[in-house]
């Protein structure tokens, strides 16, 4: 079945540094990937839609200069949290669409802790 690999699973970084999270579709091509943020005991909040070969579409309230998304190939999207602060600590999850009107496959998530 369709597999999305997300790396790293956990990362701890210092305030002011940047962190890159990778999301790869292993056995299918994903022209569209999605990045979510999830706070404890809450639902998934869509941050942005990543489109291969074009700029990402950000949801309202999400700072595009802080959360840089790159989707340079059909199998890889990256999310870079720039100048991270403790309030950016969260669980970040990517997903990939299997096609129009079809389900998503999610990555295993990345627990980011900014100290």
Judged by the rule CB under 8 A, the positions of this chain that interact with other proteins are 6, 32, 34, 41-44, 46, 49, 91, 93, 95, 97, 100-109, 111
Query: Could you tell me the CA-to-CA distances from 45 to 27, 72, 96 in Å, in that order?
Result: 26, 23, 15
Q: Which CB sits closer to other proteins, 55 or 111?
A: 111
**Which CB atom, from 7 or from 15, has the smaller least distance to other proteins?**
7
User: Least distance from C-beta 5 to other proteins, angstroms?
Assistant: 11
Centre a 10 Å sphere on the Cβ of residue 114 and count the other Cβ atoms it contains: 20
Task: Select 14 or 41, whichever has its Cβ closest to other proteins.
Answer: 41
Residue 31 has φ and ψ, to the nearest 5°, of: -75, -20
Q: Least distance to other proteins from the beta carbon of 96, Å?
A: 10
Question: Alpha-carbon distance 60 to 115, whole Å?
Answer: 27
């Amino acid at each position: 079945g369709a597999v999305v690999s997300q790396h790293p699973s956990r990362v701890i970084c210092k305030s002011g540094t940047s962190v890159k999270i990778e999301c790869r579709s292993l056995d299918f091509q994903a022209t569209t990937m999605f990045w979510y943020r999830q706070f404890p005991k809450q639902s998934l909040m869509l941050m942005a839609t990543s489109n291969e070969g074009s700029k990402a579409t950000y949801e309202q309230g999400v700072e595009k200069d802080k959360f840089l998304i790159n989707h340079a190939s059909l199998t890889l999207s990256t999310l870079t949290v720039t100048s991270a602060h403790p309030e950016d600590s969260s669980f970040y999850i990517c997903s990939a669409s299997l096609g129009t009107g079809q389900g998503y496959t999610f990555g295993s998530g990345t627990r980011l802790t900014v100290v």
